[in-house]
């Protein structure tokens, strides 16, 4: 999985894959669920700490190097400094997977039609600079506009009622 559009720049250069089978032992239940501290620590290590300073001077030392980890045969684990960031990254990761899948399928069709990938049939992923610059540097500030829209839409649809009040007011 690689970022194939602006809002998925947070995916970075790679999305690590956690295969729980690599960490299970004979006494573990083999249902692909993280059920103990050992398996949780192995999953958490896939995020690994970053010792990075962005070109613009933003220091992210100690922040996770990856904010999305793909679980083999299971799904994704997505982290963020707050609920807004985590949910927004989840939505944009899903959209990126859809875009990337469609791009790969269309590129395959172009190849099947006898057109070389250089004729525009290949998926174009974000460059390293584009990934970094469209990442909002770990801040949820860039995510507030879509979050507000989703929150209002969810409340208007009656899908969810928050008896504690709006998360936007805190």
Q: What is the pLDDT of residues 85-94, one digit of tens each?
A: 899 999 999 9
pLDDT of the residue at 56: 47
- Give tens-digit pLDDT for 75-116: 999 998 888 889 999 999 999 999 999 988 888 887 665 555
Cβ–Cβ under 8 Å, residues 18 and 135: no
Q: Domain extents for the chain?
A: 6-160
Which pTM value belongs to this model? 0.76
Closest of 70, 88, 104 to residue 140, by C-alpha: 88
Secondary-structure class of domain 6-160 per CATH: alpha beta
- At residue 57, does pLDDT exceed 90? no
């Amino acid at each position: 999985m690689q970022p194939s559009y602006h809002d998925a720049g947070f995916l970075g250069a790679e999305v690590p894959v956690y295969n729980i089978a690599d960490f299970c032992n004979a006494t573990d239940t083999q249902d692909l669920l993280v059920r103990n501290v050992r398996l949780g620590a192995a999953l958490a290590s896939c995020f690994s700490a970053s010792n990075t300073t962005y070109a613009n001077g933003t220091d992210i030392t100690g922040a996770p190097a990856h904010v999305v980890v793909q679980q083999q045969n299971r799904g994704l684990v997505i982290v963020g400094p707050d609920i807004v960031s985590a949910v927004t990254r989840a939505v944009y990761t899903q959209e990126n997977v859809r875009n990337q899948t469609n791009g790969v399928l269309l590129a395959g069709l172009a190849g099947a039609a006898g057109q070389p990938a250089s004729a525009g049939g290949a998926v174009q992923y974000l460059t390293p600079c584009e990934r970094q610059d469209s990442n909002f540097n770990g801040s949820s500030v860039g995510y507030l506009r879509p979050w507000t829209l989703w929150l209002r839409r969810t409340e208007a649809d009656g899908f969810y009622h928050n008896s504690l009040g709006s998360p936007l007011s805190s």
